[in-house]
């Protein structure tokens, strides 16, 4: 493998990694929006600036966190505070 081939291989690997991070960020934004409605700009900005490991942690928290801010919290949800569930959404009627 030539030096040029190695540089090209590394560039492709970096591109794939960046694509994974962008895909995870987009999925998290979609999940949060579906669960909590429109998101504050600060929440979106934090998600778009996060690394992959952080996005994985936050995506898992979407399941149980009572607010978007709790999803992005620095520590796991506290057991001492009762979890609040968002109001149930009405299902669309099928016609």
Task: For tokens 């992005």, name the residue.
Answer: 72
pLDDT at position 89 is 66
Q: Identify which of 1-5, 71-75, 81-85 has the greatest average pLDDT.
A: 1-5
Is the Cβ–Cβ distance between 72 and 47 less than 8 Å?
yes
Residue 87 has pLDDT above 80, yes or no: no
Per-residue pLDDT tens digits for 27-80: 999 999 999 999 999 999 999 999 999 999 999 999 999 999 999 986 544 443
**Best CA proximity match to 69, nearest among 80, 58, 60:** 58
pLDDT at position 26 is 96
pTM of the model: 0.66
Average pLDDT of the residues in 18-33: 93
**Structural domain boundaries of the chain?**
3-71
């Amino acid at each position: 493998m030539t030096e040029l081939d190695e540089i090209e291989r590394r560039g492709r690997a970096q591109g794939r990694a960046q694509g994974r991070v962008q895909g995870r960020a987009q999925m998290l934004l979609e999940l949060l929006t579906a669960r909590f409605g429109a998101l504050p700009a600060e929440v979106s900005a934090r998600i778009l600036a996060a690394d992959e490991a952080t996005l994985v942690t936050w995506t898992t928290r979407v399941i149980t966190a009572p607010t978007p801010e709790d999803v992005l919290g620095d520590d796991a949800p506290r057991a001492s505070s009762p979890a609040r569930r968002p109001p149930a959404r009405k299902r669309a009627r099928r016609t």
